[in-house]
Structure 1
Amino acid sequence: MFNFTLLATTTLLALSVSGCAMVSVGSVSSEDYLSARRGDVLTTGQLSASARTALQVVGTNEGRCNTNISECRKLLIASIGLSDEQRLSTISELWLQEALQNEEAQKLEPANDALKAATLSAYLESAKHAYAYLFFTGRTPDLRALEDRQAQVRDYYNFSTQQAVVGLFNRYRDQLEQSVSQEKTYLLDFAPWQVSGNTAGISLSHKGQLPNELLAASSLTFKGLRNQYRRDGLGAELVAVFADSVVKREDENKPWSETPFPSVTVMLHFPGNSVESVLEGKRVELQGFDPHRNSSVDVRGIRVPLAANFTSGYGLWLARSGFAQESLLSLIGRSETLDKPRIYLMQPFDPNRRVILMLHGLASSPEAWVNVANEVLGDEELRQNFQIWQVYYPTNLPLPFNNREIREAVNATLKNFDPQGKRRASTEMVLIGHSMGGVLARLMVSNSGDQLWESVLDRYNISEQREKRLRQKIEPFVIFDAMPQPTRAIFIAAPHRGTPYAENRFARFVSGLIRLPATVLSRVTEIGQLLVNPNEASNEPLVDSFNSIKNLSDQDPFVRESSKLPISSKVTYHSIMGNDTPGVILEASSDGVVPYASAKLEGAASELVVNSWHSVQETPEAIVEVRRILHEHLNRLQESQR
């Protein structure tokens, strides 16, 4: 008997096998969803979902494409089933994939020049196709602003430009050096490519010089910096390296140095008036920018943001500085490079940005400001309106000497860059000083009148004959006016009235190790001979006690008298202190080195006490307060200009 049920079941099974495929549904985590949407050859090593879709449209897949990328690109070029955006973005990604594979192969064949050339050419092709996608397809970048694919293609352009520019620099450095020194447009014949460009758009301080190195900012990581600050946009983020180290004997007549590690952003332009002409060409134009001065760039009449990295150059400067060892050698008079204050500009001088002048403390260096400076650079509004100058000075010198010589160094720097003193950079300066640097900052904005000079006369029995000669010798150090440029100051853990810490056994031991430079020692000796009556006592004890640590003692006559000097009425000042003595009333507290009573200043516009040891400037609370004060300063300036 015919089994109808068996027949029906068999028929249904046959239909399920031979008929249309059935669709099933599943679930995916948000992490996997985002990874599938946004992952690509740069982030995962695999082609993006957009590229895989394009490959399926032309009848191939990622696996077959990996075995013959060249044939895969030909399929994409020939297909009429893809839009220009799909085709160009996928080809850019495939060229990038080939370049990355070549770089891996180079590790096994480092001397293979043909492979190096092929890698560079692949990066240029990737950048060119990304460039064509961004600026020569039907939709302009603003119409794709929220699309993941455009963000990916921007990254292909930026990374390929970065690798190509660094590779070309390393390959043709000698040829480039001659062109740059003559300020000519350079032309590199990198067959089949012709690469041209000039450095006119880069406001670097090292004109007529070529960097020793070009480093990709993305390749640098730093310990000790809490954050790295950059700006999204178009272009390769690079650091130009002009020096192997920072600490070296500089020109005695030039007490300033613009950063030897400036940030640079580089663009590659591919000439043409259409997608076809851009893709057929083998010409590329290189254009460099100072990202501190340029925040956007015009490409074919379209204004796009310029990529930038504001931390890597600064981090590299500190990492290669040698400051840690040199600052200690300087303290004991063993430094061969630092015998006078130096001003380090953290970016090429900008006449339209106000100056923030930072002064470190005893046995320290600009490293004391590592995160303070970086956080200021990371604040867009502050970065657009301020430039940071770091003072590096020998901390073995007595306070009066450093006060005078830092003033001279700052004035010489300003005069060099702004001889008339009319530009914005020469006005409304902000001083930020930590510890001994705070005491020096206070001296720089104080008026001495004859107060310090008269205190010297009161302290010593000086004959009229010696008084005239003494005044001639001592006047530059005890009679001074407030510097005219600063109008705001931030004193951080500053022992304005000295500290008993300078009198303890360890401080006295270190003080005994301090040696003054010969030029300073001779001046101190001359002054000592005039101060002390030769018939009454020797001047040796006076000379031996005249150094920076003794100056910071709460028993030191100079620091006690200078704490009474009036601060210029045009200067708004603020105090930030540490408190490392829990359970003690504020008036009796200390940061472990400086008592609150010594750091406190009457008339301060604000005062912040942070639970911290003496290095309070590195705490998040202090950094936030510094930024608040800088914004307050900026707002006041903007209001006064309305």
Structure 2
Amino acid sequence: MSQRRGDILTTGEMSSAVGVALQVAGIDEKQCRNAAAQCRLNLAENIGLDDEQRVSALAELWLQEALSMDQKINEGILAEDVLNAYLESARHSYAYLFLTPRSPSQRALEDRQTQVRDYYNFAVQQMVTRTFNHHHDSLLDSIDDNGEFSVTANQWKITGQLNEVRLAAHQRIPEQLIPASSLTFKGLRNQYRRDGIGAELVAVTAKRVVSKHSREASFSETPFPAITAILRFPGDTLEEVLNTQQVELLGFDPYRRNSVRLAGSQVPLAANFTSGYGLWLARSGFARQSLMTLVGRGEVLEKPRVYLMQPYDPKRRVIIMLHGLASSPEAWINVANEVLGDETLRKNFQVWQVYYPTNAPLAFNQNSIRKAIEQTLKAFDPEGTHRASEDVVLIGHSMGGVLARLLISESGDRFWDPIVAAYDLKGARKKEVQKKLKDFAWFEPMPEVSRAIFIAAPHRGTPFAENHFSRWFASIIKLPVSMLGRVTEIAQLLVDPSSANAAALTRPFNSISNLSDQDPFVRLAADLPIAAHVPYHSIIGNDTPDLALEESSDGVVPYKSAHLSGAVSEKVIHSWHSVQETPPAIVEVRRILHAHLKQTNGFSYVE
């Protein structure tokens, strides 16, 4: 099997198919290595071979030439010559696949077709990345508002269309293209891709996940979207394709397109759905930043930001993920990847992740996260008519689960009345406090949300926040400067120094204190009514399986705090608090999302 399927890409040696073609043509294999150009010419002119044998052998021989030249590019070999060799390999591969007598479907189970498809994809990958590296300025100057461009490389005229590729910040072309196959990541359990035609690439539009000039924005589209590129050679016959010096480069968003029509054949479009997401995480710096920002160091996060994992698609529903305390979007690494890897979910959902300052109080974060989501939806869908603005699914882990619940709950005067009583608010002072707390003490369910999933969420707080370490850590947490001013102003209004019985703010006003089962805010929020139209689900960790369920805990959150009566489903998993990354929890999230699709009009994305 190895001897039959090995080729220039997998073993570094020519395939047995090339050996057979050379024997039939009467060409010595050793002489072919020593005089490659003459060998290819003799093979091209030989009439003893059928079209499939001849052009497939030439595709591999040209790829061998390109790989050999690539290794000597610093020894006087010109980049344009290497580019030409890759183009010739892609051209002959294209001719074999689409212009020989049998169609791709008629050769579907043949090893040779799989090999030649790989030659085409690899040659396209190398040609496209080199074109962007060596002709980036020319591409940028020539591309028009419709995404069409034209450049000349050696004797080739390369035209192209990128109108189906949507880049962040309205960029017309990427700064760089990276082959998805060259990227590997630690922490990702699976890499998801789709077999087919085309080069699987990651477009780089920025060096960092968040650039300095965009830090004040409420959202950020991924600067590393997935792209699939193909080359199309003009001509209706084998002879026309093999004699042209023109080629068309087409780029596609593989999330929106599953197949492409080439030379009369509809073929699946190759795609890699993991590498762009992995590169986004690798260049984010979230892991270090999320801990530093708690104590006011590093690039302090002042307010929430919504991150789109793919370019915005008006036809796809939105899944919004909210991480927990001292965490970041990195916490969702495998949950998000598994959703993107599920074909049905990928066709119907787009993933947004919220990165927010976990040092801030719950009341402040629920308000600012709400605003960030609303502003993001408004920016992409001002009229609110897109499918993306309906049936939003919230998924929150730990503190993110508490915040997700607040986003779909109605407060009424539940928070205001105790404040009035505790601080004896009257007259002008009462009106002033009411004005300052308007955005924090009163809220309603977000109308866009139609389902929620709570994972290890301490809805009634946790005694873990009252232990010595947690109390000490709460004392060193620093709020963002912009938030500290508002907290101080509210505190000064609440505490009336002229009153003989003035109530004091005895607890630190931050997120860790908020998560205590003794915290007034959490106690009041525990029984807030969830919107009647929003079904919700609980996934709960259990690290104490020997205890009765009612007395169990995931090591941080007791079952009694994570349990919500009225949940459509409740899944208890043997796991510590980081339950959202366990395989059973991921399976449960996917199950809920599939059920959500079936229950909401059976909607399915149509290409």
TM-score (norm. length: structure 2): 0.96
- Partner Cα distance (1:458, 1:564) in 2: 20
- Partner Cα distance (2:256, 2:300) in 1: 32
* Partner AA of 1:451 in structure 2: R
- Partner Cα distance (2:36, 2:301) in 1: 57
Partner of 1:35: 2
* Partner AA of 1:71 in structure 2: Q
Task: Give the share of equivalent positions with the same residue, in percent.
Answer: 59
Is the counterpart of residue 213 in structure 1 residue 180 in structure 2? no
Deviation by residue 1:357-411 (Cα, 9 ceiling, x = unmatched): 0000011000000000000000000000000000000111110011000000000
Aligned match for 2:186, one of 223, 226, 250: 223
Contact 1:222 1:315 in 2 (8 A): yes
Contact 1:338 1:394 in 2 (8 A): yes
Deviation by residue 1:111-151 (Cα, 9 ceiling, x = unmatched): x3x43222111100000000111111111111111211111
* Partner AA of 1:102 in structure 2: M
Partner of 1:357: 320
Once the two structures are TM-superposed, the CA of residue 540 in structure 1 deviates from its matched residue by 11
State the secondary structure of the residue aligned to 1:533: coil
Is the counterpart of residue 76 in structure 1 residue 60 in structure 2? no
- Partner Cα distance (1:61, 1:512) in 2: 80
Is the counterpart of residue 569 in structure 1 residue 532 in structure 2? yes
- Partner Cα distance (1:266, 1:515) in 2: 47
- Partner Cα distance (2:213, 2:372) in 1: 13
Aligned match for 1:270, one of 233, 236, 246: 233
Is the counterpart of residue 47 in structure 1 residue 10 in structure 2? no
Residues 569 and 496 (structure 1), Cα distance of their counterparts in 2 relative to 1, 3 Å cut? same
Once the two structures are TM-superposed, the CA of residue 178 in structure 1 deviates from its matched residue by 2.1
* Partner AA of 2:138 in structure 1: Q
- Partner Cα distance (1:538, 1:125) in 2: 87
Partner of 2:68: 101
Aligned length: 604
Is the counterpart of residue 553 in structure 1 residue 520 in structure 2? no
Aligned match for 1:452, one of 415, 421, 440: 415
Residues 445 and 268 (structure 1), Cα distance of their counterparts in 2 relative to 1, 3 Å cut? same
Residues 49 and 601 (structure 1), Cα distance of their counterparts in 2 relative to 1, 3 Å cut? same
Contact 1:503 1:553 in 2 (8 A): yes
* Partner AA of 2:235 in structure 1: G
- Partner Cα distance (2:295, 2:590) in 1: 34
* Partner AA of 1:610 in structure 2: I
Deviation by residue 1:497-518 (Cα, 9 ceiling, x = unmatched): 1111111111112111111122
Q: How does 1:154-303 map to 2 (within 5 A)?
A: 154-180=117-143, 185-251=148-214, 254-303=217-266
Deviation by residue 1:409-438 (Cα, 9 ceiling, x = unmatched): 000110111111111100111000001000
Once the two structures are TM-superposed, the CA of residue 183 in structure 1 deviates from its matched residue by 5.4
Deviation by residue 1:74-127 (Cα, 9 ceiling, x = unmatched): 221121111101101110000001111112223xx26x3x43222111100000
Contact 1:249 1:336 in 2 (8 A): no
State the secondary structure of the residue aligned to 1:484: coil
Residues 249 and 456 (structure 1), Cα distance of their counterparts in 2 relative to 1, 3 Å cut? farther
Aligned match for 1:85, one of 36, 52, 60: 52
Once the two structures are TM-superposed, the CA of residue 265 in structure 1 deviates from its matched residue by 0.7
Deviation by residue 1:291-329 (Cα, 9 ceiling, x = unmatched): 111111111232111111100000000000011111112
Once the two structures are TM-superposed, the CA of residue 242 in structure 1 deviates from its matched residue by 1.2
Once the two structures are TM-superposed, the CA of residue 157 in structure 1 deviates from its matched residue by 0.5
Is the counterpart of residue 588 in structure 1 residue 555 in structure 2? no
Partner of 1:385: 348
Contact 2:495 2:503 in 1 (8 A): no
Higher mean Cα deviation, 123-132 or 68-77? 68-77
Deviation by residue 1:273-297 (Cα, 9 ceiling, x = unmatched): 2111111111111111111111111
- Partner Cα distance (1:423, 1:214) in 2: 30
Contact 1:453 1:475 in 2 (8 A): no
- Partner Cα distance (1:429, 1:230) in 2: 26
State the secondary structure of the residue aligned to 2:453: strand
Once the two structures are TM-superposed, the CA of residue 539 in structure 1 deviates from its matched residue by 8.9
Contact 1:259 1:346 in 2 (8 A): yes
Structure 1 stretches lacking a partner, 5+ long: 1-33
Partner of 2:454: 491
Structure 2 stretches lacking a partner, 5+ long: none
Partner of 1:343: 306
Once the two structures are TM-superposed, the CA of residue 227 in structure 1 deviates from its matched residue by 0.6
Contact 2:401 2:455 in 1 (8 A): yes
Residues 582 and 537 (structure 1), Cα distance of their counterparts in 2 relative to 1, 3 Å cut? farther
Partner of 1:31: none
State the secondary structure of the residue aligned to 1:542: coil
* Partner AA of 2:67 in structure 1: L
Aligned match for 1:463, one of 426, 438, 448: 426
- Partner Cα distance (1:138, 1:521) in 2: 73
Aligned match for 2:90, one of 124, 127, 130: 127
Aligned match for 1:440, one of 378, 397, 403: 403
Partner of 1:502: 465
Once the two structures are TM-superposed, the CA of residue 247 in structure 1 deviates from its matched residue by 4.0
Q: How does 1:527-542 map to 2 (within 5 A)?
A: 527-536=490-499, 542=505
- Partner Cα distance (2:366, 2:183) in 1: 37
Higher mean Cα deviation, 511-520 or 383-392? 511-520
Is the counterpart of residue 520 in structure 1 residue 469 in structure 2? no
Larger radius of gyration: 1
Is the counterpart of residue 475 in structure 1 residue 442 in structure 2? no
Partner of 1:621: 584
Deviation by residue 1:208-247 (Cα, 9 ceiling, x = unmatched): 4432221000111111101110111111110011111214
State the secondary structure of the residue aligned to 1:526: helix
Contact 2:202 2:227 in 1 (8 A): yes
State the secondary structure of the residue aligned to 1:244: coil
Once the two structures are TM-superposed, the CA of residue 253 in structure 1 deviates from its matched residue by 5.8
Once the two structures are TM-superposed, the CA of residue 543 in structure 1 deviates from its matched residue by 8.0
- Partner Cα distance (2:132, 2:386) in 1: 36
State the secondary structure of the residue aligned to 2:321: strand
* Partner AA of 2:388 in structure 1: A
Once the two structures are TM-superposed, the CA of residue 181 in structure 1 deviates from its matched residue by 6.9
Once the two structures are TM-superposed, the CA of residue 459 in structure 1 deviates from its matched residue by 2.9
- Partner Cα distance (1:88, 1:62) in 2: 17
Contact 2:196 2:268 in 1 (8 A): yes
- Partner Cα distance (1:599, 1:638) in 2: 31
TM-score (norm. length: structure 1): 0.91
* Partner AA of 1:54 in structure 2: A
State the secondary structure of the residue aligned to 2:72: helix
Once the two structures are TM-superposed, the CA of residue 465 in structure 1 deviates from its matched residue by 3.2
Contact 2:507 2:513 in 1 (8 A): no
Partner of 2:332: 369
Partner of 1:633: 596
Once the two structures are TM-superposed, the CA of residue 174 in structure 1 deviates from its matched residue by 1.6
* Partner AA of 1:83 in structure 2: D
Residues 181 and 557 (structure 1), Cα distance of their counterparts in 2 relative to 1, 3 Å cut? farther
Higher mean Cα deviation, 206-215 or 148-157? 206-215
Contact 1:259 1:344 in 2 (8 A): yes
Contact 2:143 2:150 in 1 (8 A): no
- Partner Cα distance (1:58, 1:637) in 2: 62
- Partner Cα distance (1:368, 1:598) in 2: 21
- Partner Cα distance (2:28, 2:169) in 1: 50
Is the counterpart of residue 325 in structure 1 residue 288 in structure 2? yes
Once the two structures are TM-superposed, the CA of residue 566 in structure 1 deviates from its matched residue by 0.6
State the secondary structure of the residue aligned to 1:451: coil
